[in-house]
Structure 1
Amino acid sequence: MTNVASRKLAFFEGMKVTEIKKNIPHPLLISLSTGGLSVECPWRLMSGGKIVLGQTDFLHQEQKEFNRGILDKALRDKTIRCVEWLDDCYLLRIVFSGNYVMDLFHDSGSQEGWELFGNGDFSFISLPGGEPEMIEKDEQ
C-alpha cells in the first residue's frame, strides 16, 4: 500500500468502538465514534497471540448471544490504535486498546468483504476478489 493510503488509514486511530451489531445482510457492524466497519467476510479477534473469537464462533446458532457478548465485552469502548493493510495477503488488521487485534480476510471472488468508513470522509473497501479500494468523498 502506498504511503498516502497508510496515512489515510491513520484517520481511524483514536476512534472508539461505540456499538457492535449483527445486521442483515451484513453479519457484523462495528460503529465507531466517527465512522464504522461493516464486515461480510471471515474475521478473527485475537488477544495475547490467541484467537478469542472468530466469524464461525460468532455465527454459531447455539451460542450466538454468548459469543456476541464476548465480542461486545472485548471491543466496546476500546480505541483503535492502528489500522494496517497487509498487501501480500489481502488482510486488514485493526489493533485496539486492551491488547485486541482483529484480522479481516477476504474469501470471495464475487462479493465485497468489508468496508471501513469515516462519516462523510472516505471509505476503504475490499472489492470482489479482495482488491482494496480507497474512495474519497470528493471522488464520489
Structure 2
Amino acid sequence: MSKLSGIDFSHFEKQSIVNVIIGSNSLLELELTAGGLVAECPWRLQRENKIMAGSSDSREVPANVQLKESLIGCQVIEVIFMEEVKMLRIAFSGSIVLDLFHDSCHFEGWELYSEDGFTFISLPEGDFSLQELCTTQDQCGE
C-alpha cells in the first residue's frame, strides 16, 4: 500500500471542470472553476475502472472531442497524492478518476493550483513543491 501524503486538497472539492485542453507530448490541461491543472507527464482517465483515455492516446482528435465533452462540468470529489509512487489522483463526479504519474528525473510532471494561492508542483526526480493557502492577512502579505 502506498503512503498517502498529509496534504490538504479539500479546497478543490466541488470545483467543476470548465475547459479541457489535450495537446501533444502528454499535455493535459484542466481549467477548474477556481484553479486548474497542467500535466506534462503520463496520465490516464478511467470511468468505472475502465480506461477512457491515456496520455499515449491524446493525439486522436475525434476521441479528444468526446473526452472533453464527457469531462466538462464534472466536479472534483477528492484529490490525493501517493508519495511513494509519485502519483496524483483526482476523483470526479460520474465515477471518473484521473491518475498522473511523475516519471522524469529532468522535468516537472504537473502543477495543480487554485486561485487562492495553493500550488502543488511535481518537480524533477520526484520531489514536489507545495505552497499552502494564505489563511491570514499576515501570511498573504496584505
TM-score between both structures, scaled by the size of structure 2: 0.84
Which aligned runs of 4 or more in structure 1 are off by greater than 6 angstroms? none
- More helix as a share of residues: 1
Aligned letter for 1:18?
V
Query: Aligned residue for 2:44?
Result: 44
Query: Aligned residue for 1:21?
Result: 21
Please report how far the alpha carbon of residue 27 of structure 1 lies from its aligned counterpart in structure 2 after TM superposition. 1.8
Aligned letter for 1:97?
S
Q: Which runs of 5+ in 1 are unaligned?
A: none
Which among 120, 124, 127 is matched to residue 128 of structure 1? 124
Query: Aligned residue for 1:69?
Result: 65
Aligned length: 133
Answer whether contact 1:15 1:34 (CA < 8 A) is retained: yes
Please report how far the alpha carbon of residue 26 of structure 1 lies from its aligned counterpart in structure 2 after TM superposition. 8.0
Select the structure of larger CA radius of gyration. 2
Answer whether contact 2:109 2:121 (CA < 8 A) is retained: yes
Which among 102, 109, 129 is matched to residue 105 of structure 2? 109
- Of residues 119-128 and 101-110 in structure 1, the stretch that sits farther from structure 2 once superposed is 119-128
* Structure 2 CA distance for aligned equivalents of residues 29 and 53 of structure 1: 14
State the identity as a percent: 35
Answer whether contact 1:90 1:106 (CA < 8 A) is retained: yes
* Secondary structure of the corresponding residue to residue 94 of structure 1: strand
Q: Calculate the aligned-residue CA RMSD, in Å.
A: 2.2
TM-score between both structures, scaled by the size of structure 1: 0.85
Correspondence 1:96 to 2:111: no
Q: Which runs of 5+ in 2 are unaligned?
A: none
Answer whether contact 1:21 1:29 (CA < 8 A) is retained: yes
